[in-house]
Structure 1
Amino acid sequence: MTNNEPTTAPDPAEGPGTAVTGERAEWLESLAGARHFLRFTTRDLTDEQARARTTDSELCLGGLIKHVTSVERNWVDFIRNGPSATKDFMNLTEADWAERADEFRLLPDETLAGVLDAYADAARATDELVAALPDLDLAWPLPRAPWFEPGARWSARRVLMHIATETAQHAGHADIIRESIDGAKSMG
């Protein structure tokens, strides 16, 4: 796709089918590509395979999908509502950290199909926001967390870059896990 070819994405203000072009189309294309490779690693797997830890890491494919879904939802909430929509990571309780750890696992009452559906819902919400947001320069102070510089601000554009980068990074993790399950690869 080139800059001159519109991507169709729903714009809540104008109804479905609004053509998105330029930078927004590029963001949607980048996000779609990263999401595709992450989802593709789970093709034809059972729930048990999606729960499997195949390396020394705690990561499993179902957990990676859950984590990326949570990340995408949280950052979209941040774009819409600022840091009040996110957790203050400097004051998390032990229970908060345990809940966060479960985000990286496919729990016994969860299914791969269910977490993939939740991921698709999160992706749709992000895509709708990209299409409708009046200004990608909208910026908020980052939430308090040991991994953020105090006082730093991120624009909506920077948040989209983070979502795309994190999704692509986890797609790479997922490819290694998948190859360890049954030799299947996303590419090659």
Structure 2
Amino acid sequence: MTRARLPALGYIYVALAVPALVLGADHPGGASALFTGAGFAYLWFLASLRSQLIRFDPDGFFASVVVLGGAAFFALQATALPAGDPHVAAPSAACAATVIIGSSRAAWRARKIPRWFGQAGVLGGIAVLVVGMLEGALDWTFAGDSLFASSVGFMVWVVVTATYLLRRSAGAPL
């Protein structure tokens, strides 16, 4: 796989993470295997995103924020998966929101995306954060023990971002 195609691993992350989170604590072996594959794909997706962001923001501030938030997100999700505990998973929403907002701000600031798209990303990040806070406060999950609405929101963003990065590398308009 070429570097230009690495964003496609965002799709693999989502395709493996959703069933892993649905299986959750009820099927720990299957969930762990799927989430391990999801983690591999996610880390490569995150690296491809960082590579793009460093071009948008040469001092690296946003790229650093995104990578730190992305790594912390995955670690917290991996910890919450076997427990199925919203109190453990809710803080991952802060990390996911950091990735979404940091990426959106970097691309918007560099004028690589339309203003409305950048604003939508920032609002989406805020929504993921607020939903995560509510999940923790209300001891709530979207489905089963381990599928959180904040995680689903983040995964939607991953799919949109992977699509954008792939189209950008192919020279297609947004």
Q: TM-score, normalised by structure 1?
A: 0.35
Greater RCO structure (CA 8 Å; 6+ sep) = 1
Q: TM-score, normalised by structure 2?
A: 0.37
